[in-house]
Chain A
Amino acid sequence: MTGSSFPAPLVERLREAVGPQHVSTSNLDTGRYPRGRGSSPPPPPGAPPSDVAVVWPGAATEIQKVLRAAAEHGVPVIAVGTGSLGLAHAPLGKGGERGRILLDLKRMTNVLHLDATSLLCHVQAGATLGQLEERLDRDALTVGDMPAESYRSTIGGLLAGRAPGRATSRLGPLESACLGVSAVLADGRLVHDRIAPRKAAGPDLSRLLVGSEGAFGIITAATLRIHRRPEVRHFASWAMGGVDEALGALRAALRQEVRPSIARVYDPELAASTFEPLAPRGKTLVIACCAGAREMAQAERSILEDAFGRAGGVPLGEDAALLFWNRRLEQVRGQRAGDEDAALFPVAAALGRLMPVYQSVKSSLRALGADAAAAFGRFHADGGCVFFELPADPRLEAAAREAAVGAGGRPADEVFADDRARPYLRQLKTILDPTGILNPGRMVD
């Protein structure tokens, strides 16, 4: 640690808090977290340790001690799970010049209580959704079919950095399944939600912590609604004349209260590149999976068949849907690199705006001599997501972004938009975090 610009007395305090082996200022450790857009560049090889410390707490009580020490020294704390939000080295607001503590929660992965009677799971925030799913699988339980990319993220990260498009048609976004959280506030206070269905005892205070990217408190554990493993899964796919017909038919089925666990619409270009040779040339491809209780899944499949049939869809059997499912499983298990959506530009929109967003982005790119292919998914009651495959060109991406927003879409990486509420949140931050140590620069600045 010699030569680190990180305050030595604070390093001592951190070691006392979590044990010496769980603190590091080495560039090898601090440099392992992904650097998002705008992050500081990695130090060159052989450079002295930077002003960053990594701390691996093992319990909420240790996080309390870390935050108290950090507050005394005025050093910012950034909670990181797998680091996929790219916050570890992101620019900080006021206080950033004093270095930073990366609070890595990967030691906190325990299932604290599994309540198979109420179908609830109290799990520490450092567990990835994949780890939790593995644990639940032993008891024939599941968190449900979430998007593949979510399984590699930690529960804490998924809740703190909720992002549009992480929802599923059956279960909605993960925070809908969250009955409450435990969190440590900046002054070291540990808060717990009382776990009960649909409380009416005042505001839902945990909604300030969920989505706040660690700016109001650090989520240490969550209680999530879980499910029994589906009794059956019915897979199906259809070739449709166009994207519009496919979205219209899916919408009609959703209005019939069908909740497919997977529903995706691929435009002809993306269908060809993703499902060749299963996708008929020039056709829009729909894949779906109905999962759950036997009779219900059967009823849902019949409604989907009816809806797509009426819209001129040609049934293609289950092959394309099974291919998607198997790739997804490989991604979830880490046997397949990346997620097919990871390289795509996701835009969330209300159901009725998906088509205008799609058309607007395509025409804006065509005007610049390019084009975009797209898939639609993550449909839920309030909307869905369109994933664009864009050419790697910042100019085109900017054009796509502008077109998407203009048509009523919201790019997934856009943060908080309610400008009139922002001053209130800023003031709230100064009360809850007077020394400004919790992820300064995020959410309210």
Chain B
Amino acid sequence: MAPAPKESTRGTDLSRELAALLSPERVSVAPADRVSYARDAWPRTLIAIGHGVVAPHPPDVVAWPETAEEVAAIVKLAERRRVPIVPYGAGSGVAGGALPIHAGIVVDMKRMNRMLALDESELSATFEAGMNGEHLEHELNRRGYTLGHFPSSIMCSTFGGWLAARSAGQLSTKYGKIEDMALSLEVVTGRGEIVTTGEAPRGAPGPDLTQVFIGSEGTLGIITKGTVRVWPLAERRILGGWEFPRVAAGCEAIRRVLQRGLRPAVVRLYDELDTLVHKFGGDDEAPDRETMLERELAALALPARRRSTAERGLEALKKGLFRRLLANDLPLKLGLLNRAIDAVVPHVSGGCLLIMGFEGARAMTEAEAAMARTELARAGGKDLGEGPGLRWWEHRYKISWKQPRMFKNGAFVDTMEVATTWDRLLDLYAAVRAACEPHAIVLAHFSHAYQEGCSIYFSFAGAGGDLEDAQRRYDALWSAALDAVTRVGATISHHHGVGVSKSTYMQAEHGEAMGIYRALKQVFDPSGILNPGKMGLP
């Protein structure tokens, strides 16, 4: 185990000044705090932690402001001292966006956690940026409303984090992503000034700065407050499951439903392998990412399909089989393994599972659900009843809490959410799978569907020997995947954001338009102190 980070002189000096600005108990240079904020949920850092690197990127100091004015004062201090400043919500980001890679000040926003207003006549609400996602939704629910934003990380993410990274919830097909909900923001710029965006009604003249700050991941300003559109709580919810023989048929059915103008809340189509994983999952337990992958490996390693066999397989995996299987495999063998999956899995899985659900005002929800049922049957879907939908609903927040266990075993799992238009969607699916097969086991589901296209959520599992080997394999996997994504013309991110992990692909994504982003950076953060080294910026 590596030792805890040593206290830095810069940190000690800064903490003194910060204590004067806030109060001493809201500033810390304690090793425990610096270790806590030396990571987010980026799997590459989890690999390092799994190999005993206690604090991959420790900040010099951590501060907990309570008002926008305090945030502004911290930014001014950082600007004067030319010290990096990294806003931090709940640290659930999987792209390294909240990592203090150049140390400096981590500004934890979680003390700014209040609901400030609910305007029931305008259906809007205002929250401080550090408010926990589940608390936010709960506050609205108590009053008869919902934001309609349900990321699987809802219990461990914040409102500000959602805005900063263009987050999507599981019901995004109906309610939109966070950028569709946002009406206005309060932001502290890199000059330490508080700016409000979007006070005019939507559609008013002028550039829309709200949409410029959303997704800027702390590189242009620190979001301190936001006003969003809210909805009355759903009067009715109708969920269902359907089976399609192939991914292509399922995608086509979803497209038809959406292009008839229907507004399902949730749409999730699992590819054959992902469907198989669901079938292995018992009714009492929704599989999280890690369990899914373990089970999938179990299914491959052992020919029988009986649950007892799968359970024995799982035991073996826990003893390290999983790691050995992947780590000792040459890319060629891994490719063969993936091709074997392709050959076998469709026969075992029985097809692809589609979950579709509607919610909202009673009459429209019922009308639309009935139409969707007809449309899906017409597209060749086999109606499985409401069971699969209800099961998904009950376990929708069960994310990979236990992920570190797998990383401790030397393996890694990760996910990549990319999106494109319907005409390229299957090309994207095929290209990414082909590119990744030499490096990892790949499974995918199609979720967050819209009239013009859909996101694909790929899950990867791989492993390496020592830390260097594991990170080399991890990087090779990601390069292969993102090269394929940009080659097809899809976007590199639908809702996880860019952070460090996709930073080098920003140029491919935006081309010459990166010049506009650099100009914005120059204007809103002239000293370059806001979350440096991310998003393709210096």
Report A's interface with B, CB cutoff 8 A: 115, 117-120, 161-167, 172-173, 175, 179, 185, 189-205, 207-213, 216, 225, 227-228, 255-258, 292-293, 295-296, 298-300, 302-303, 348-352, 380-383, 410, 414-418, 420-421, 424-425, 427-428, 431-432, 443
Question: 10 extra interchain contacts, Cβ-Cβ under 8 A, other than A201-B506, A211-B206?
Answer: A117-B255, A197-B454, A198-B172, A201-B497, A203-B212, A204-B179, A257-B263, A293-B260, A410-B204, A416-B206
Instruction: Report yes or no: A115 in contact with B498, Cβ–Cβ below 8 A.
Output: no
Contacts of A352 in B (CB 8 A): 121-122
Q: Which residue of chain B is the closest to A425 with respect to CB atoms? A: B207
B183/A382 in contact, CB under 8 A: yes
B364 contacts A303, C-beta separation under 8 Å = yes
Cα distance A179–B419 when bound, in Å? 13
If the complex has contacts A200-B496, A257-B361, A382-B183, are A208 and B195 also in contact, measured as CB distance less than 8 A?
no
- Whether the pair A162, B203 counts as a contact (CB closer than 8 A) is yes
Can you list 15 residue pairs at the A/B interface with Cβ under 8 Å?
A: A173-B202, A175-B203, A191-B512, A199-B494, A200-B493, A203-B213, A204-B208, A204-B212, A207-B208, A225-B451, A225-B452, A255-B361, A295-B371, A352-B121, A443-B207
The reply to whether the CB of B331 lies closer than 8 angstroms to some CB of chain A is: no
Assess whether B179 is in contact with A257, with CB atoms less than 8 Å apart. Answer: no
Neighbouring A residues of B513 by C-beta, 8 Å:
191-193, 205
Answer yes or no: B436 CB below 8 A from chain A CBs. Answer: no
Contact A197 B453 (CB under 8 A): yes
Q: How large is the interface on B (under 10, 10 to 19, 20 to 34, 35 or more residues)?
A: 35 or more
Given A164-B201, A197-B454, A424-B195; A418-B122 close (CB under 8 Å): no
Q: How far is the CA of A164 from the CA of B201 in the complex (A)?
A: 8
Shortest C-beta distance, A125 to chain B (Å), equals: 16
| Residue pair A179, B452 in contact (C-beta under 8 Å) | yes
Number of A-B contacts (CB under 8 A): 283
Which of the residues B165, B361, B510, B523 comes within 8 Å of A256, measured between beta carbons?
Answer: B361
Rounded to whole angstroms, the CA-CA distance of A293 and B259 in the bound complex is 10
Cβ contact within 8 Å between A418 and B197: yes
Q: Which residues of B contact A258 (CB under 8 A)?
A: 364
Residue of B nearest to A180 (CB): B513
Which residue of chain A lies nearest to B526 when distances are taken between CB atoms in the complex? A427
B20-60 interface code vs A (CB 8 A; 1 in, 0 out): 00000000000000000000000000000000000000000
Write out the residue numbers on chain A whose beta carbons fall within 8 Å of the beta carbon of B208: 175, 204, 207, 210-211
Q: Compute how far the CA of A165 lies from the CA of B509 in the bound complex, rounded to whole angstroms.
A: 33
Alpha-carbon gap, A34 to B229, bound state (A): 39
Question: CA separation between A382 and B371, bound complex, in Å?
Answer: 28
Whether B490 sits at the interface, judged by CB under 8 Å, is yes
Residues of A within 8 A of B167 (CB): 200
Q: Measuring CB to CB, which residues of chain B are less than 8 angstroms from any residue of chain A?
A: 121-123, 165-168, 172, 176-177, 179-180, 183, 189, 193-209, 211-217, 220, 229, 232, 255, 259-263, 360-361, 363-364, 367-368, 370-371, 419-423, 448, 450-455, 489-498, 502, 506, 509-513, 515-517, 519-520, 522-524, 535-536
Measured in the bound complex, the distance between the Cα atoms of B179 and A92 in whole Å is: 34
Knowing A190-B512, A196-B419 touch, does A421 contact B494 (C-beta < 8 A)? no
Nearest 8 interchain pairs by C-beta = A416-B206, A200-B166, A196-B491, A299-B367, A118-B421, A207-B211, A352-B121, A173-B203
Which listed residue, B197, B262, B452, B493, touches A296 by the CB 8 Å rule?
B262
In the bound assembly, the distance between CA atoms of A352 and B201 in angstroms comes to: 12
A443 to B165, CA, bound (A): 28
Q: Which chain B residues lie closer than 8 Å to A414 at the CB level?
A: 204-205
In the complex, the answer to whether B454 meets A161 with C-beta atoms within 8 Å is: no
CB-based contact B197/A166 at 8 Å = no
With contacts A200-B496, A200-B497, A204-B214 known, is A216 near B207, CB below 8 A? yes
Nearest A residue to B423, CB-CB: A117
The docked-state distance in angstroms from the alpha carbon of A300 to that of B453 is 26
* Residue numbers in A under 8 Å from B122 (CB-CB): 350-352, 382
| A117 to B259 Cα, complex, angstroms | 9
Q: Are B506 and A202 in contact, with the CB atoms below 8 A? A: yes
The answer for the CA separation of A206 and B506 in the assembled complex, in Å, is: 15
Residues of chain A within 8 A (CB-CB) of B176 are 198
B211 A203 Cβ-Cβ under 8 A: yes
Nearest residue, chain A, Cβ from B198? A418
A212 and B363 in contact (CB under 8 A), knowing A382-B183, A418-B196, A424-B195? Answer: no
List B contacts of A197 (CB < 8 A).
Answer: 419-421, 448, 450, 452-455, 494
B519 touches A428 (CB 8 A): yes
Q: Which of B168, B364, B513, B523 has the most CB of A within 10 A?
A: B513
Q: How far is the CA of A350 from the CA of B207 in the complex (A)?
A: 20
